[in-house]
């Protein structure tokens, strides 16, 4: 398809780390004009240094007024990608012990943040441009103790269906990653790491994925001018076995 993204203006919310950073790097190498956004100025500065290009913007997706103000002065973006996520302690809670306040908070960045960005950001995306969100395989194969995470990831996937209808001809899709080795794994407790490794050894591609492998899916969804309302799985075959 050639360098379809050359000179396209792309906003990556969550681009200071992990999958978002890999998308920024891949898009820059295709000649796109990239802006990464997240809450920490320090992380954004470090990411821009490592990227060797692009621009940054400080933005907290839990603050709707800030999102509205950002898009009021940002100019247009051909593509908006949303990978923002906050990670509380990674633990698999016994369902009967679910803290409903913490369960509601799990939706704030990844679901309500995504919805707010689509609400205000769509005004800045031209017809045929795209918005790509991020859910996760918990939506399809939740582990025990992850009922809330399954609901949140599923809610993002269904938000994509609704937004694809609401916002057409802007295209709206999601990427649904399996286990991808990002900075998010830095603070994972050893027992959860062991549990993940045992699971990964049973899937069709028996290893953890890389951020670059996940980034490919976002690049496709930006380029894929006849694709909307989809959730593209990048999960080493976990849907089938593992």
Ligand X SMILES: NC(=O)c1ccc[n+]([C@@H]2O[C@H](COP(=O)([O-])OP(=O)(O)OC[C@H]3O[C@@H](n4cnc5c(N)ncnc54)[C@H](OP(=O)(O)O)[C@@H]3O)[C@@H](O)[C@H]2O)c1
Interface positions with ligand X (CB under 6 A) = 13-14, 16-20, 38-40, 43, 59-62, 83-87, 109-110, 134, 136, 177, 179-180, 182-184
Residue 86 C-beta: closest distance to ligand X, Å: 4
Rounded to whole angstroms, the Cα distance separating 209 from 211 reads: 7
**Closest separation in Å from C-beta 9 to ligand X:** 19
Name the residue number minimizing CB distance to ligand X: 18
Using the minimum distance from each CB to ligand X, give the nearer residue, 89 or 128.
89
- Minimum distance from residue 139 beta carbon to ligand X (Å): 9
Closer to ligand X at the Cβ: 4 or 208? 208
Residue 66 C-beta: closest distance to ligand X, Å: 9
Q: 4 vs 213, which CB is nearer to ligand X?
A: 213
Burial call 170-183: b when 16+ CB within 10 Å, e when fewer: bbbbbbbbbbbebe
3-state secondary structure 204-241: CCCCCECHHHHHHHHHHHHHCCCCCCCEEEECCCCCCC
């Amino acid at each position: 398809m050639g360098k379809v993204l050359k000179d396209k203006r792309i906003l990556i919310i969550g681009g200071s780390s992990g999958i978002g950073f890999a998308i920024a790097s891949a898009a820059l190498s295709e000649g796109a004009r990239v802006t990464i956004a997240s809450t920490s100025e320090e992380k954004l500065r470090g990411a821009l240094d490592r990227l060797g290009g692009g621009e940054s913007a400080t933005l907290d997706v839990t603050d709707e007024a800030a999102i509205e103000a950002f898009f009021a002065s940002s100019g247009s973006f051909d593509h908006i990608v949303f990978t923002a996520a906050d990670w509380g302690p990674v633990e698999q809670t016994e369902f009967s012990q679910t803290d409903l306040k913490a369960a509601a908070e799990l939706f704030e960045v990844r679901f309500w943040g995504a919805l707010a960005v689509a609400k205000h950001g769509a005004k800045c995306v031209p017809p045929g441009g795209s918005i790509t969100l991020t859910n996760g395989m918990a939506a399809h194969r939740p582990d025990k103790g992850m009922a809330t995470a399954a609901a949140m990831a599923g809610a993002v996937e269904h938000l994509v269906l609704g937004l694809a209808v609401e916002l057409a001809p802007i295209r709206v899709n999601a990427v649904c990653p399996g286990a991808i080795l990002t900075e998010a794994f830095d603070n994972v407790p050893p027992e959860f790491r062991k549990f993940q490794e045992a699971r990964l050894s049973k899937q069709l591609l028996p290893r953890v994925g890389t951020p670059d492998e996940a980034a490919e899916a976002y690049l496709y969804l930006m380029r894929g001018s006849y694709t909307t309302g989809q959730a593209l799985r990048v999960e080493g075959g976990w849907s089938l076995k593992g």
